[in-house]
Amino acid sequence: MDVRHPVGFGPLWLIWRALASSDLFEAIVLFVAFGSLMALAWVRLDAPDVALAEASIGAGLTGALLFAARHPALVRGGRQ
């Protein structure tokens, strides 16, 4: 990947920001954005099967699980 291109430099910047973030919600959002940008990188590398897996598992499922762990009251229907 070419680091002059946003898809090349973007994942590095996003993961650095996610790891350096002190706010948990911001870190989760950056992690989901990282997974989405990695899916675009796999598409550019002509690997659509890996891109689909990255988008569905890396950004989608893992992001949903992290949000559910962050807000457990939302998963239980608002009751504590």
User: Per the structure, how many domains does the chain have?
Assistant: 1
Examine residue 1 and state whether it is found in any structural domain, yes or no: no
Q: What is the pLDDT of residues 25-75, one digit of tens each?
A: 899 999 999 888 888 888 888 899 999 998 899 888 988 888 888 876 666
Examine residue 45 and state whether it is found in any structural domain, yes or no: yes
Examine residue 32 and state whether it is found in any structural domain, yes or no: yes
Examine residue 53 and state whether it is found in any structural domain, yes or no: yes
Q: Which domain holds residue 55?
A: 6-75
Examine residue 46 and state whether it is found in any structural domain, yes or no: yes
Please state the pTM of the whole predicted model.
0.76
Positive/negative CA dihedral, 17, 21, 26, 32: positive
pLDDT of residue 69: 86
Q: Please measure the distance between the N-terminal and C-terminal CA atoms of the chain and give it in whole angstroms.
A: 47
